[in-house]
Structure formats: structure tokens, C-alpha cells
Amino acid sequence: MDIFNKVFKPQNYTVAKERGIYPYFHQLNSRQDVVVNMEGKRTIMIGSNNYLGLTSHPKVIEAGIEALKNYGSGCSGSRFLNGTLDLHVNFEKNLADFLQKEGVMTFSTGFQSNLGIISAIVGRNDYVICDKENHASIYDGCRLSYGKMLRYNHADMEDLEKKLASVPSESGILIVTDGVFSMGGDIAKLPQIVELAKKYGARVMVDDAHALGVIGKHGRGSAEYFGLENDIDIYMGTFSKSLASLGGYMAADKDVIEFVKHTSRPYIFSASMTPANVCCANAALEILKAEPQRVQDLQRVGDHMRENLRERGVAFKESTTPIIPIYTYEDEKTFIACKLLLDRGVYVNPVVSPATPVGQSLLRTSYTATHTFEMLDEAADKIKEVTEILKTM
């Protein structure tokens, strides 16, 4: 049998292309910002993870330019060998100080961070217990490990305790949860998770990809939000969102950092972050430290958009973060809605199965601290218009 047989069968994406409602790979002709030029047209961007609006900040751009001038375009090797720059070391110290952890290690992408951390920490006789709505990179990190994965129903602490109680007493346990869930925008129940972890002798890892720069008084993420910074064993996060760059990190006690540095295959066998990525992320971190009001600005933007949608009678999933999901339920309606919105100058993200359960497709809208209320009002009007069209279908 030809292994390519599957390639030639009709797929959802081929059907969507034929119908003219394919929603992916739209081209930007400008910087990532609150308003972009997408395929030659002015478009309000409410489908980006540029939470603090720093991708176009002059200090971030200048930091990247200077890094290119002084260090070149790449490192040509892994951190383990020739790919460690003083830039990496200094940035890791700066980030560790900000997160109030003993140490930080950086990875080339956020996805790789979860692969590298979980596969190194979870051994053959260990268990890793995950919220069912955790990010795909967490699940792939679990699969790469030699441990056994258990899943608990989303935010269901009774189910989590059942899973914890089922683990043999001689096995190690790592509980892994998103801090802010990327699709629903809700915040993990960290106080209850920490309490259960202590009861059952488990360690806790939090993926703060969508929480760093988003929640917490200083933008340090979900642990700061709950006042649990001394109770979370491992933070993971990315630089491709609030910190306007590319890469990821692990923050933990020094002994944990050293162990992962010397055992994580995705870390050891990958090239290190480029100089420009490091310096852009570090510049964005400095702006966050100097301007923590951006976190409050982001909250106001999210709250304003929620009020906009309520006033217009648009149903959405309630959250307290800048991620606001609008359920369309059917994949086809999701694709149609994205096209209709883009035609009207608004970009949103289509989320369909398997990223969500079948029948729970949605428009993922996400917001930036530098959105103006006028932009949000305009986008809300377009969303109202399109959702009314969907009701007739």
C-alpha cells in the first residue's frame, strides 16, 4: 500500500478551499499590530497574542537590530555546545529575577519548552496528570516522556483528586496545567491544585504562555495572580506573546534547571535562540517592568470588549482575560464567519476540532493593550452583523 494514499483523499481543508471559505495562512503585508494590512486591506487584528502591543515598539525593534549588528543572525549550534552567548545568560538572569525564581533556562520555541521540560522530568515510573484543555505541546511533551499520562476533566478538582489517588505511592507525580487556557481564556484553579499537590506529594508545573504579561499585579502570571509564587515548582512560558519575540523558558529552582539542562533532548539537540530573539524579548521584558500599567490597560481593553458584546447581544464565553471565545459550534459556520469578518476588515482565529471538542467550534478573539475603544467598537459592530447572518443559516 502506498503510504501517500491518505494524502490524496479529500480533507476538510481541501473542501474549504474549494468552497472559498478556507480560513488559514492569510498573508500580512505589515507589522503585527492592532491594525494590520492583510492581503492589501486594512484589518483590525483581534486574533493575535501580541498582548502588550510590543511587537512594533521602537525599543524592541532597535534591540533586535543591534543584536544583528553585534552578534550576527544565528548561533550555529546548541546551548550545550557552541551556542551559548552572554546574551542568553544575562537574559536568563534578568527573567529569573523578574519571576522571583532561582533560575531560568531558555528554549528556541515555546512548544519545544514543554517538550523539553516534561520529557526530562517525567521518568519511566512517574505519572504526569494533565487538565484535558491543556495546550497541545504539553500533551506532546507527555508522549515524549517515559511516564504515564492521566487526564482530568477541565478545571474539575474532584476528578483531579481521583487521578492523584489512583497513582501508586512509589511513583512521582507532576501536575501540569495551563495558567490561562488558550482557547477558553479562563484561569486555572491554582489554589486548589496546589492544595491537592501538597496532599498527595505531587509537584506542580504551570504553562504561563498566556498569563505572562497578562495577569498578576506586575504581569508575572498566574502564580502572582493568586499569591502562590512560592508554591509552583516549575513555570513555563513563551516569548512569542507578551514579550514580542520567539522562544520559551523554564523557571524553577537551580537544581531542577541544572537537571533539565543536562537531560532534555529537545534542549541539547536544538540550536539556541538567535541573538535578535533574545534581545527583543529582553527589551520587551524591560518595558513590562518599567510600565506595569500595560497589564491594567490590557484588562480594561478586555472588559470593554466584553461589555460591547453584551450590549449587542452577542453570546460569548465569560472570562476575565483578553481571550474572549465566541461559540459557532459547527466547523463550517466557523469558517464562514471568519471569511465574512475578514471581508469586513476584522481578523479572528477559527478554532475547530480537534483543537476543540466536536460541536464546540469557536471564534477565538484576543486583544492587545494598545487597542483603542474606537477599534473595539468597530470590531464589535462587525461581529454582531456576522453572528446575525449565522443565525439565518
Catalytic residue among 101, 135, 163, 210: 210
Catalytic residue among 135, 163, 241, 371: 241
Residue 99: half-sphere exposure toward Cβ, Cα within 13 Å: 32
Catalytic residue among 145, 182, 270, 366: 182
Mind listing the pLDDT tens digit for each residue in 133-154? 999 999 999 999 999 999 999 9
**Separation of alpha carbons 76 and 82, rounded Å:** 8
Does 76 have pLDDT greater than 90? yes
**Separation of alpha carbons 103 and 93, rounded Å:** 7
The domains of the chain are located at 5-56+292-391, 58-290
Instruction: Say whether 241 is catalytic.
Output: yes
Which cell numbers in the block locate residue 369?
Answer: 493593550
Residues 219-230 have a mean pLDDT of: 97
Instruction: Say whether 218 is catalytic.
Output: no
Confidence of residue 356 (pLDDT cuts 50, 70, 90): confident
Instruction: Say whether 353 is catalytic.
Output: no
* CATH architecture for residues 5-56+292-391: Alpha-Beta Complex (3.90)
In the three-class reduction of DSSP (H, G, I as helix; E, B as strand; rest coil), residue 13 is classed as: helix
Q: CB of 193 within 8 A of CB of 156?
A: no
Q: In what order do the strands lie in the sheet with 127-131?
A: 103-107, 248-252, 234-238, 203-207, 173-178, 127-131, 148-152
Confidence of residue 192 (pLDDT cuts 50, 70, 90): very high
Q: What is the pLDDT, as a whole number, of residue 301? A: 98
58-290, which class in CATH? alpha beta
Which cell numbers in the block locate residue 331?
Answer: 466547523
